[in-house]
Amino acid sequence: MRTVSRSVGRTPLRVATAPAASRALSVRFFCSHKQHKQHKQHKRIPTTKAGINPGVLGALAAGALAGWYFYSGEPTPSRDSWRKVNFHNVYKDIAALLEDEDYDDGSYGPVFVRLAWHASGTYDRKTGTGGSDGATIRFKPESGHGANAGLDVARACLEPLKKKYPHISYGDLYTLAGVVAVQELGGPTVRWRPGRSDEKISANCTPDGRLPDAAQGANHVRDIFYRMGFNDQEIAALIGAHALGRCHSNRSGYEGPWNASPTSFTNFFYTELLEDKWVPKKWDGPAQYVDKDTKSFMMLPADIAFKTDPQFRKYVEKYAADQDAFFADFAPAFTKLLELGVKFPEDAPVYEFKTLE
């Protein structure tokens, strides 16, 4: 894992520094307070590392951005289809897709994390609905929810792997992509297991509004995460993934990265939140904050709540001071998120994948 200097976070110009880097996404656990506009199609140079036909990927991306979605042409995998999949090979093929200098900050990693998060973070423990089981995020209307703007890019990028591994479910593919991205960008080892099944129709799509609103404060954040079954410590650990990626004005309405190393999984979200002075951004967009010194980095209103709320702040201070502590708490919280509502087979194995480096 490449070491990222804290000093990088003080420079206005951002550079992709992590292996298989990726600040592609607007890795936002929080979504916009308004409906996102349809994003523009991004050109990407096809890769053959994963044994994928470049023409297929281009066609898939174009189709996804046109508002319709591709399927593998194979029968929908059953809950037992995972037994026919070599997940170590899938991991390697996802990792081979991460780097792309023509996409965002040079990587699809952050948008893969966001896809995994948004596919899973719709879970409601009271009703038992939502979550990654079923992969309803690929259907309208859920795919068109404002919080999911831009995720068609991630789904289209992964679609050739669905063709290559027809027995993998979309739910397993999307969540595994998030695990790959966290690990290959320098984050902790995240335990993952297969066994999700896929819905065949959109009837069970979750209603809009289950993901957090970036314009809100601590009470709203707790309402959203408590609904899923998280506590304050887990919430504070999960928000650390905002070290990755950036916001896009043509998706969420917000704009900018959280720090200078948006393709490296670090504890920089916490250090920047505490050490910088954050002031309201002067612009025509929604209310957000920028660092006073360089105005190169941003925080969302919901991010600031982790600095001002005493219960959240104690964890922010802990993770800012100790990246290992952050990694140790993030990994199980992220695994929990990806498994919400999933009824795994009793013999589903638990994987701890090794990174490619």
Report, as an integer, the average pLDDT of 77-84: 83
Give me the mean pLDDT over the 259-270 stretch: 96
What tokens does 325 get? 């502590």
Q: What is the pLDDT of residue 121?
A: 98
Q: How far apart are CA 280 and CA 137, in angstroms?
A: 33
For 94-133, the pLDDT digits (tens) are: 999 999 999 999 999 999 999 999 999 999 999 999 999 9
Instruction: Of 220, 319, 229, 196, give the one whose Cα is nearest residue 269.
Output: 319
Q: Which residues contact 266 (CB under 8 A, 6 or more apart)?
A: 4, 186, 243, 259, 323
Mean pLDDT, residues 151-159 taken together:
97
- Packing angle of the helix pair 268-275, 310-321 (nearest 10 deg): 120
Whether the pLDDT of residue 332 is over 50: the answer is yes
DSSP H helix total and E strand total for the chain: 11, 5
Hey, how many other C-beta atoms are within 10 angstroms of the C-beta on 318? 17
- pLDDT of res. 30: 55
pLDDT at 36 over 80: no
Q: How far is CA 207 from CA 35, 59, 147, 215, 317, in A?
A: 14, 30, 12, 19, 35
Q: What pLDDT does residue 29 have?
A: 52
Give the pLDDT band (50/70/90) at residue 16: very low
Q: Specify the pLDDT at position 26.
A: 36
> Once rounded to an integer, what is the mean pLDDT over residues 181-204?
96
Contact 258, 272 (CB under 8 A): yes
3-state helix, strand, coil in the chain (%, to 5): 45, 5, 50
| Threshold 0.85, pTM exceeds | no
Tokens of 170: 């979309």
The arithmetic mean of pLDDT across residues 127-151, rounded, is 96
* pLDDT(56) > 90: no
Q: Rounded CA gap, 184 and 21, in Å?
A: 8
Tell me the mean pLDDT in the region 10-24. Answer: 35
Q: What pLDDT is stored for residue 47 in this prediction?
A: 38
- Both tokens of 134, joined, read 């079923």
Q: What distance in Å separates the CA atoms of residue 311 and residue 247, rounded to the nearest whole number?
A: 26
What are the pLDDT digits (tens) for 202-261?
A: 999 999 999 999 999 999 999 999 999 999 999 999 999 999 999 999 888 999 999 999
Evaluate whether 171 touches 135 at the Cβ level (below 8 Å): yes
Q: Output the pLDDT for position 79.
A: 66
Query: What does the pLDDT average to over 51-77?
Result: 44
Strand, coil or helix: 11? coil
Q: Which token pair is 329?
A: 């708490």
80: confidence class by pLDDT, cuts 50, 70, 90 = confident
Return the active site residues.
118, 258
Asked whether residue 7 carries a pLDDT value surpassing 50, the answer given is: no
The answer to whether 118 touches 132, Cβ cutoff 8 Å, is no
Q: What is the rounded CA–CA span in Å between residue 268 and residue 154?
A: 24
Query: Given a cut of 60, is residue 82 above it in pLDDT?
Result: yes
Identify the pLDDT of residue 259.
94
Q: Is the pLDDT of residue 25 over 90?
A: no
